[in-house]
Amino acid sequence: MRRLSPLLFAFALLVMVVPAAGAATNSILPVSIEKAPIVPDGTTANEITDFVLTFVDRDPSIDGLSLLAGATVTATLPDAFVNTMAGDINTAILLQGWPQSPPFPFPWITEVSGNAVTATLTSDYLVGDFGPGVKQVHLFLGDFRNPGPGVYQVDLVIKPDPASSATFTGTGTVRILPKSRPSVNAVSVFSGGGPPPPFNNAIYQTVAAGDDAADVGLYLWDKGSSVADGIINPFVDVAIVMSNLSRGRLVQGNKTVGHVWIDAPAGASVYGITGGPSFLGIAAVSEIDVGILVTTFSTDPNATGVYTIGFQLNNGNTQQLFVTAE
């Protein structure tokens, strides 16, 4: 039996209790916040604000929200986040659960008022039109600077239909770190489907048993990066070295800089992941230097089920991928 993640369970409950159409509703969304995958320091103290709010489970089998023309998505940052009003790019990007997943051109405009960032839909963005629907908002805020280290709350209000009083609201917690740490993040620009976006989903893939999943690109940065100060530390020459089927290392020269693991379905005995060495490239959207590790995962022809692949840099974050073999 498949287990529901806490986010999926909460959203399932939310859907069950939504009243009949026409009733005024204020439904609560579970909101989580993580650094954006296109920068090393989006949740670091005094750096440019760049993070992603997730409010529907990222599993593509779960529907997101449908937003009609005129709908609004507003994220409000605490006063501790400083709007420098320097005239840099500020945009809210409405994602479908994975990076580089919005339709293009964007069917919305972004406006900033004080510390409130609002995306207003200029045309419908519906479940099924481009994918599973809206699940995330990426706040790419060049004018904003993060506060000092600590935990802060970000409010989210979604009005999916301008002709209705129904709203979705939620509050997420973002942890601002004192210094940028090593970072590994999956992106979708190496997985097919574009350009332009939406690119194919790099986080969740489904393939026939025995087939390879689409390549997944991992963006790698070492600690100490600061986009605002022009200090970027891309992690290059990093390769995957597997010790056995399920455990391996991220290796740079003779140094272990991280770890890799695979949780395979029952009966799987012929599978594996390859990748590297990472090379210097330019990150999508942010256009900064980054180490790029392109990975390929192979499934067992005689086993079906879900493979979970994990990557972790030492003293850094963890990135997971999910491949379902059918």
Nearest-angstrom CA–CA distance, 30 and 14: 9
Q: What local confidence, expressed as pLDDT, does residue 22 receive?
A: 44
Domain end (from 176, 197, 224)? 176
Nearest-angstrom CA–CA distance, 229 and 231: 6
pLDDT over 50 (residue 141): yes
The residue to which tokens 């959207």 are assigned: 285
Q: What local confidence, expressed as pLDDT, does residue 7 receive?
A: 43
Residues 244 and 154 in one domain: no
Domain end (from 142, 176, 210)? 176
Mean pLDDT of all residues belonging to the chain: 94
pLDDT over 90 (residue 20): no
Q: What local confidence, expressed as pLDDT, does residue 258 receive?
A: 99
Q: Which residue has the higher pLDDT, 65 or 19?
A: 65
Tens digits of residue pLDDT in 147-185: 999 999 999 999 999 999 999 999 999 999 999 999 999
Q: What local confidence, expressed as pLDDT, does residue 25 receive?
A: 86
Q: Cβ(303)–Cβ(266) under 8 Å?
A: yes
How many domains is the chain partitioned into structurally? Answer: 2
Residues 125 and 240 in one domain: no
| Residue 160 belongs to domain with CATH number | 2.60.40
Residues 158 and 257 in one domain: no
Domain end (from 176, 211, 236)? 176
| Residue ranges making up the domain that contains 192 | 183-325
Residues 137 and 231 in one domain: no
Tens digits of residue pLDDT in 274-307: 999 999 999 999 999 999 999 999 999 999 999 9
